[in-house]
Chains A and B, each alone.
Chain A
Amino acid sequence: MLDENLRQIEQELLRLPLRRPPDSLDQRITQAGVYALAARRRRRILFRSALCLVAAACLLAVAAVVDWRQPGGQQAGSVFPDGTAYIAPIQIEQVWSSVATEPDMLEGEGQAVRVQHHVVRQIRWIDEARNIRIQWDFPSVHTETMPLQYEQWPVEYN
């Protein structure tokens, strides 16, 4: 409890004319409210846009996973034809190599040449997850016989 003297001081203090806030303060507070409201709206719009983007990204990711797991698509893990298991992602390379023998002159009804083509189709899988490389060779030989008059081989391999 305050004594009488301090109460008197209190009363004197209450009687003192205070410096009043400038008239512009009300306007500034109102403006501040308007700006804050606008800022909050902007933040809400930004937040919703960000949410939409995240949702779209999630949908895309789900679609990609579904596609990944569909037959024919690259699977997250599977088995090669020889039974070797692999883990995606894998890289698939195909290499073709072709060697042709020297043309043999064929004697007979007419002059002709015969060429044997040795073609190797090589398929490689690289399993990055396990750092292994699997390779299959598919050799094939076929023979071309053609009249001598042809100067160009009719078969081309890329």
Chain B
Amino acid sequence: MNIPKDLKYTKDHEWVRIEGDAAYVGITDFAQGELGDIVYIEIETQGESIDSGEIFGTVEAVKTVSDLFMPLSGEVLEVNPKLESEPEIVNSDPYGDGWMIKISLSNPAELDELMDSEAYESSVS
């Protein structure tokens, strides 16, 4: 299972990559593997400020529907435009092309509550 060392993780199987005062968010390799073929991603929260733990979108696999949770409080600045026509890139490249949203951080202190790669790895093994 691929768990990059330079990312932070949540118990909801999302990853966070900090870039300056913003962060990219996606779902982990473990999550995409559990979901199976991802066929639809609905994120309609661009421009909204959302608290950590609240829902920012939905991911649908062939068999299941799962909510996507904000890993950190902030504003949804950008939604990956590729997800609309190619949701399967979340399966093939969950940490790269399959990123989901870019957010601003309204409370950077929350970063301390995220897991590092080792803690995440032990949580899923």
Q: Do A and B bind each other?
A: no
Residues of B within 8 A of A (CB): none
Residues of A within 8 A of B (CB): none
